[in-house]
Amino acid sequence: MCGIVGYIGNRNAWEVVIKGLHRLEYRGYDSAGVALIDNNQLNIYKKAGKVSDLEQFSRGKNLSGSIGMGHTRWATHGAPSDRNSHPHTSGDGRLAIIHNGIIENYATLKEELAARGHHFSSDTDTEVLIHLIEEILKQNHVDLREAVRLALNEVVGAYAIVIMSEDEPGQLIAARKGSPMVIGVGNNEYFIASDASPIVEFTKNVIYLKDNEIAFLKRNELLIKSIDNTVQTPYIQELELKLEMLEKGGYDHFMLKEIYEQPRSIQDCMRGRIYPKEGKVQLGGIKEYTEKLKNIDRIIIVACGTSWHAGLVGEYLLEEYARIPVEVEYASEFRYRNPVISEKDIVIAISQSGETADTMAAITLAKEKGATIFGICNVVGSSIPRISHAGIYTHAGPEIGVASTKAFTAQVTALTLLAFYMAQQRGTITQSQLINLLTELDEIPALVEKSLQANEKIKAIAEKFIHSRNCLFLGRGSGFPVALEGALKLKEISYIHAEGYPAAEMKHGPIALIDEQMPVIVIATKNSSYEKVISNIQEVKARKGIIIAIVTEGDTEVKKMADYVIEIPDASEAFLPLIATIPLQLISYHIAVLRGCNVDQPRNLA
């Protein structure tokens, strides 16, 4: 999840690029660099550390020029260091490249190039690619455009690249395969970025580059070709993103802002899709597949990380209401198996960005086997919606904090809508049941808003556990995926080891870890598993564990046993994940802040 920014036009490129790199800091990175061309001279400045370190390093240097590119790197090949930072140059220093992705056959290419006299100054796969382009230029006597195209036909892997040359100082070349890239269209100027956040300040008109496309950009010219040299007709669309969405808006951190945005983001996901008084769900993005939904044999959900947890919630909902078998798979495992898939399966890909590489590979495999693909994504125009046959946008707005919050609840909302829609179409729910459920769903944003009112109490509880080394999260039913998500949040941003378990599984191993130092966070709301969860709490207390309980407002029984209690509004079991997630996000946030952690940019994460 490295960041790319490029600019060609009449502005000062350094100012555009460095501002764009700051906008991309949320993606996670360990180093940053910029390349500029001024008076036909290539100037490169790069530094391990933050973008601010790069700015400090570049002070007093030549930052002139109206063509430039910048990069924030998250290390893959080669440790974080100045020498491994992007941009990288060719052997003669006349070409420069920035790159997101991985060149899988770089070792073979590097060996061949070394045998031809090339010397490398970094440990990266990226440097190999720019040396390959240099070699093709020299040996094939072609121009830079053709050299780039020929080189990309030789590489295996994923990439989003931008290339500039001292010998052609009025041109940027960009290409992508399996890694996102967007081109902003201005007035005699173009912007390049790995996502729209650095572009929205300057233009609303964008082109999402497709896989195996190469863009050749000059100030007043844009040409896009496929890797097989066929000219492409670009599709320009208007960004929905607004600049104010990328600002903290008075909050200390983007993560806290995004936690507090959830009443709105859940409402935005439902808007125009539910009609409680009529007992009707309307999903235009999958409407043409309604008949297929009535006759499918199975749903397979593929996702990674937080999106996988949302998929587990979806499994409960789809099986409960639509009465259809559901399997939830890690995309990274699914893609490397030989899964049994038929034309009567629907594969649902869940991804906030719509660019998750493992998820994209998983649905490409499923599509080849004849399955129908639905995408549940947040970013309009991203790769997964384009690959999918149909889908649902979550409309959560940009999520800048690396640890996902509002994207999770928006995904759960979308899956809830899908479950009710399928139940409605398959006749597995009565009209009166659907009216009641939709009426309650319509009130969920207000209940989430109410849950946020416990913030100060949660902060006080968090202060007690900033020195904890381990934590367990327990839940039953749809509370189990919530426990998994709560544990993930805590470990992601506070670096405390945390694990989520089905509460009944505690006695099959994890109970051995419980002592007077172990906080155990239990989702103990009043639902069908309430009595069972109480038994689990008693087991923990018998071993001197510290209980932090998430309970239904007004609960008295759990209060007698728990050390700390956080109340949430009463709601049907179907909507528990949307509400119970909120206090878990807040407790993780406050523990991390109190421990001095960077909650928006956790270490090693992107």
Domain span holding position 14: 3-244
Lowest-confidence segment of 448-452, 475-479, 481-485, 575-579 by average pLDDT: 475-479
**Facing residues of 73 across strands?**
31
In whole angstroms, what is the distance from residue 365 CA to residue 339 CA?
Answer: 9
- Mean residue pLDDT of the chain comes to 92
Among 97, 41, 103, residue whose Cα is nearest residue 70 = 97
Lowest-confidence segment of 81-90, 524-533, 570-579 by average pLDDT: 524-533
Q: How many CB atoms lie within 10 A of CB 441?
A: 23
440: in domain: no
* Average pLDDT of the segment spanning 475-497: 95
554: in domain: yes
Global pTM reads 0.82
Same domain, 224 and 271: no
pLDDT tens, residue by residue, 359-400: 999 999 999 999 999 999 998 878 899 899 999 999 998 888
447: in domain: no
Residue-wise DSSP of 4-67: EEEEESSS-HHHHHHHHHHHTGGG--SEEEEEEEETTEEEEEEEES-HHHHHHHHTTS----SE
Give residue 89's pLDDT: 95
Same domain, 80 and 186: yes
600: in domain: yes
448: in domain: no
Same domain, 281 and 227: no
CATH label of the domain that carries residue 392: 3.40.50.10490
Query: Tokens in use for 425?
Result: 């179409």
